[in-house]
Structure 1
Amino acid sequence: MSNRLKPGINHIEFWVSDLRQSMNFYNSFLPLIGWKKISDVSFSTENMVIYFQEMKEIKKLRSLGVRHLCFQAVEKGQVEEVCSAMVAQQANIIRGPLLMPYSKEYYTLDFFDPDGQVIEVAHTPFANMG
């Protein structure tokens, strides 16, 4: 067994209606919070990979499952930078950036991606993670 493997999420696969549109959208903010584009269809940190697959024939349905995906901003200013990127993308912003009472200095921005997935970028310096 490898010593470098740790429990966690290995990867997330997004099915998207327009690969080019989604890659442009995610590339507009993921690098601002430390993610690197590693291929034409994927981004990575040292711990996780997100990749995208175009599925034009599938319609998005409202269903049970993941409500949103929250990306960690390591600096509060990154939330502001992402907000500026989302305004430039003309993204549908749900709320923020604003402080929320979930933990001290929890600063968040929530918005929809091009396919209607709820995305959050949050700076959570005092969140209890375990």
Structure 2
Amino acid sequence: MAYKYGVGISHLEFWVKDLEESLAFYGKLFPMIGWDALNKTSFSCGLHEIYFKQMPVQLHDSLGVRHICFHAQSREVVERVGEWLRSINGSIIRGPQAMPQYTPEYYTVDFRDPNGFVLEVAYAPDIEL
């Protein structure tokens, strides 16, 4: 069987409480880490797509992933994300900082988006998938 997009994740759907707030946040974050807008509510890195839907609060009763980690192309990208988060008084969990217990070059910033989703942007050139 042939696959149009190859094996892997096609897309991620984020249910958010305030669509405009989320789009403003991700509209700034994603260009810093190499993702482009596909349209008003979706973004892609060329391999995967993330899109956003506003959902009523009473439907927020499902469990999901603990966090999503985005690859950074350099430590400087991680630093730039950290600086941006500080400039908007973002909810930084840790970093930017080295995490040598993962790999010697692992450099990360962990934070929450406006919905409380935990995100990570990490530079890990020595990690093997």
Alignment size in residue pairs: 128
C-alpha separation between the residues in 1 aligned to 2:68 and 2:86?
Answer: 19
**Are 1:16 and 2:16 matched, yes or no?**
yes
Q: Within 5 A, what are the aligned runs for 1:1-130?
A: 2=2, 5-58=5-58, 60=60, 64-100=63-99, 101-129=101-129
C-alpha separation between the residues in 2 aligned to 1:38 and 1:58?
Answer: 29
Distance 1:81 1:97, change over 3 A: same
CA deviations over 1:18-44 (Å, ceiling 9, x no partner): 000001111111101100011110111
Distance 1:51 1:91, change over 3 A: same
Provide the TM-score with structure 1 as the length reference.
0.90
C-alpha separation between the residues in 1 aligned to 2:80 and 2:59?
Answer: 31
Provide the TM-score with structure 2 as the length reference.
0.91
C-alpha separation between the residues in 2 aligned to 1:96 and 1:123?
Answer: 12
CA deviations over 1:63-102 (Å, ceiling 9, x no partner): 6531000000011100011111111222110000000020
Report the aligned-residue RMSD.
1.7
State the SS of the aligned residue for 1:74: coil
Provide structure 1 residue ranges, at least 5 long, that are not aligned to the other structure: none
